[in-house]
Amino acid sequence: MWNLGRKILAERSLLAIVLAGVLIVSVGMRRVDLGQNEVSYAGAEGEKAGWARCADVVITGDSRVVFGVSGNVMREHLGDLRIVNYGFYGCGYDEQYLRAIDEQFAPDSGQKMLVLGITPHSLTEKARRRNSFKVEKQRFESRTTLQANAVRHPRFFLPMKPSNFVRAILGNQKGKANVRNAKVSNQPDKGVNDGWISSVQSINPVADVDNYRFNFFNNVVTENAVEKLLVWVRKWSSSGILVFGFRPPTSEAMVALEEQLSGFDESDFVERFEAAGGSWIEMDQYKYLSFDGSHLHRDGAIAFSHDLGEKIRLEQGPPTDLARKSFLLSQ
Amino acid sequence: MLFNSIDFLVFILLFFGLWPVMRRRDNLRWGYLVVSSFVFYGWWDWRFLFLITASGLVDFLAALGMERWRERKKLLLIGSLVANLGALAVFKYLDFAIENLNGLAGLVGIEVSVRPMGLMLPVGISFYTFQSMSYTIDVYRGRLKATRNIGHFFAYLAMFPQLVAGPIVRATDMLDQLKTVGDTTEQGRFEGLRLIAHGFFKKVVIADNLAPVVTAAFAGEKIPSTVYWWIIMVMFAFQIYCDFSGYSDIARGLGKWMGYELPINFNRPYLSGSFREFWGRWHISLSSWFRDYVYIPLGGSRKSAAAGHGNLWITMLLSGLWHGAAWTFVGWAVLHSFYLSLERLTKWPERLGRIPGGKHAAVLAVFGMTTLAWVFFRAESFAQAGGILGVMFSWQSTEVDVFRNLLSYKALAILALMVGREMYCYFRLPLNLDWGEGLLVRVAQPTMVAVVLMICVYLRGPGSEFIYFQF
């Protein structure tokens, strides 16, 4: 033992590696920002970016959709369809994302439905140009089996916010969870990952509203972004896909901010959306619980997903054979 | 395979696990290096291996041919250059040429629409092509004897630590080093680990945390704030520096573990008091490559002052195009050519240095002008670069709240750290303390390295590739 100690001391690089290992594990064990069952937001989105030809119902949009809609909850109303939440954080409806949405439908699907979550930000040039879907897609494509497994398992090694890092070092257990500290849908999912990320953060309904003001700094909804989306809506609806649109619920303060700054004319958009072949679903914007004034809390998301599923079922009319069969099976 | 990936961690554990055995015999050592390097490189896309193998074979055979048929060595050199530059032209510049051709034809009213080929750019092609070319050129010039062992040659060409992003090592340095067993010392191994830790810190903590803020700035609408854009550009200056020099540090550290010395590629370039000095400190292996294989063969500044300026501009423009097939890189090179020419003509740094505080002002001026040139390097178009420069030079202010939202505290803290570090070095405060040799020291030094590695794990930014891979 003494000899081993001497050898380690004699070899500083070995000592540094051993110490680094000890420090990394110690700090990881003391981290306060991740629970046992949680997965990183980035990890969850990275998984999604690799999906293709897997769904009957595809729900799209930005983080308001990511946090707000559970396909598994909607299945209670729409039957045993394959419903995926294909939303991405900060995502605008750019061409690459639209093409990827188009590729999500399973070839054997008997009832293709597209549910587009439309936030004003998703129709801005900045959101389109930032192309956050592309970033996730690239991340997915460039990673290997090893990296994919690393995302799934040692959450321990995920990066931390500096404040949480300091807490982990100092042992302050009052860690602050953040948006990225969230669970991939686990309720009531029967073990199926539907792409929903639920958040159980403490609720502060106006926490981040002010920050979203800057999303619209020199950046408003543009005709170009709207028209490019509507081109696809026409294409989808003419190919027999049922296309629905809705504005993901948020808080009153957020809607007021969007009305003031985004330049989004909802009634005009809805008129054009329906003329392109889509069906607009009016959803109560303020009824559901939000954790930060923008995104829905898990409880709000479950309630909203029930309501959305129910409204789509009513809109959709009599189910097709496959959907009917699935629906009956699920009863 | 990225240095900052789990794949690489596994790769490196396996590599160094067997290295002590494999390095003992020449052929085994070279073979092991070649196979490992090909695994490392082929991890991106195994098809890339055909190109590097073909490129290497051309130069290996050309060099042998030069020694056998001396009267035809010029022809063989030309053949080798055509093959190397041809591959570079096809994979890197063909689409750029087609797009410009289409645009040019449209300008003169001719309807031409040649479709870009959309070829995949092999990672690190510019680096290993230059490395390979330096070998044949040096054999042609008689400065180097061609190696007859193909394993020895490919071990030099494909050596994985520096294969995809430099430093660009010269055959004259590296072939000789590879002939030896490459014994390491305890000091060398620790130095290597320190370089690796330092390199990772630069890349994953500094560069990767600055990257999202810079990317968002260039992706979004133009923010009308002079201060904002100056901060963003200084952030980019440090992002690219830490991204690239971080890679070089890791490469050098790995080299030390293997028992080889790779050249220093960055020597605190932002502390330069002139542009001549800057280019002697920034990407040193590339600058010296262009100096030795382009600028001096063109005549350097030997013939006349005017010819010297002309050669300087040609060299810098080629260097700009080496970085990427886009006019913005040419814009960046033009600006640096202008800076260098102006400096030669006016000798402003020396004159400024004669007045009190002038030397400090010169360093600040060189850094400021370099930062301005980075606008072209980073911008996606001349229009975007022009817009940003316009904001930087016409005082425009915006709400303070914008900064709070657009520039994260973390990024600002990192910027402050980097500025502080540069100041620390500039004022020659002791960077490497003389620790002595006591037991406490032998524990304190590795502890510091361990803390840096731990910080790299937990405070790393969103993972991304090294910027210079695209070149």
- DSSP labels, B415-455: HHHHHHHHHHHHTT--SS----S-HHHHHHHHHHHHHHHHH
- Residue B284, pLDDT > 80, answer yes
With a pLDDT cut of 90, the percent of chain B lying above it is 42
- CA A24 to chain B, closest CA, distance in angstroms equals 5
pLDDT in tens, A147-165: 555 555 455 677 777 877 8
Provide the ipTM: 0.80
The confidence score (pLDDT) of residue A43 equals: 54
Per-residue model confidence (pLDDT) at position A201? 66
Length of chain B: 471
Residue A162 domain-assigned? Answer: no
Residue type, B138: D
Residue A180 included in any domain: no
Hey, are the CB atoms on A160 and B402 less than 8 Å from each other? no
Residue appearing with tokens 């956050």 = A132
Q: Express each pLDDT in B292-333 by its tens digit.
A: 999 999 988 888 888 999 999 999 999 998 888 889 999 999
pLDDT at B157 over 80: yes
Q: Percent of chain A scored above 90 by pLDDT? A: 28
CB-based contacts of A197, cutoff 8 Å, min separation 6:
A41, A44, A66, A67, A182, A183, A184, A185
Q: Is the pLDDT of residue B30 over 50?
A: yes
Task: Centre a 10 Å sphere on the Cβ of residue A146 and count the other Cβ atoms it contains.
Answer: 14
Residue B351 burial class via C-beta count within 10 angstroms: exposed 0-12, middle 13-18, buried 19 and up: exposed
Average pLDDT over residues B125-149: 90
Distance from CA of B144 to the nearest CA of A (A): 36
CATH number of the domain enclosing A244: 3.40.50.1110
Question: What's the mean pLDDT in A192-205?
Answer: 71
For residue A174, is pLDDT > 50? no
The residue extents of the domains of chain B are 6-183, 196-266+399-471, 277-371
Residues 6+ apart with CB under 8 A from B147: B60, B63, B153, B156, B175
Helix (H) or strand (E) holding A57: strand A57-60
- Cα angle B128, B131, B137 (rounded to 5 degrees) comes to 140
Say if CB A207 and CB A293 are below 8 A apart: yes
B401 to chain A, any CB pair closer than 8 A? The answer is yes
Structure tokens at B328: 């913005």
**3-class DSSP assignment, residue A145:** helix
- The four Cα atoms B400, B405, B408, B412 give a dihedral, to 10 degrees, of -10
> How would you label B225-245 residue by residue, b for 16+ Cβ within 10 Å and e otherwise?
bbbbbebbbbbbbbbbbbbbb
For B269-287, what is the mean pLDDT?
93
Strand partners, A183: A198
Which residues pair with residue B317 across a beta bridge? none
Instruction: Find chain A residues with C-beta within 8 A of B6's C-beta.
Output: 146-147, 150
Q: Does residue A192 register a pLDDT over 50?
A: no
Q: Give the range among A5-19, B190-204, B445-459 with minimum mean pLDDT.
A: A5-19
pLDDT at B88 over 90: no
As a whole number of angstroms, the distance between CA B260 and CA B285 comes to 16
- Per-residue model confidence (pLDDT) at position A175: 39
Chain A residue with CA closest to B219: the answer is: A130
Q: Mark yes or no for CB contact A214/B192 under 8 Å.
A: no
Q: For testing the chain A interface, which of B12, B454, B460, B464 should be mutated: the one with the most A CBs within 10 Å? A: B454
Pairs of residues, one from chain A and one from chain B, whose beta carbons lie less than 8 Å apart: 111
Least confident of A3-12, A48-57, B54-63: A3-12
| Poorest-pLDDT segment among A89-93, B395-399, B419-423 | B395-399
Q: Which residues, other chains included, contact B343 with Cβ-Cβ below 8 Å and sequence gap of 6+?
A: B274, B275, B276, B349
> Which residues of B are part of the catalytic machinery?
323
CA A266, A271, A273, A279 torsion: positive or negative? positive
pLDDT band per the 50, 70, 90 thresholds, residue B400: low
Count of CB atoms situated within 10 Å of the CB of A172? 13
Sign of the Cα pseudo-torsion (B210, B214, B215, B221, in order): positive
Average pLDDT of chain A is 77
Taking an 8 Å cut-off on Cβ atoms, the answer to whether B402 and A217 are in contact is yes
In a domain, A106, yes or no: yes
- Give the percent of chain B with pLDDT over 70: 92
User: Residue A252's domain spans which residues?
Assistant: 54-129+189-330
**Is the Cβ of B197 closer than 8 Å to some Cβ of chain A?**
yes
Residue in chain B closest to A208 (alpha carbons) equals B405
Residue B248 has pLDDT above 80, yes or no: yes
Average pLDDT over residues A106-118: 90
B381 inside 8 A of chain A by CB: no
Residue among B402, B442, B462 whose CB faces A12 most closely: B442
* Interchain CB contact of B462 with A (< 8 Å): yes
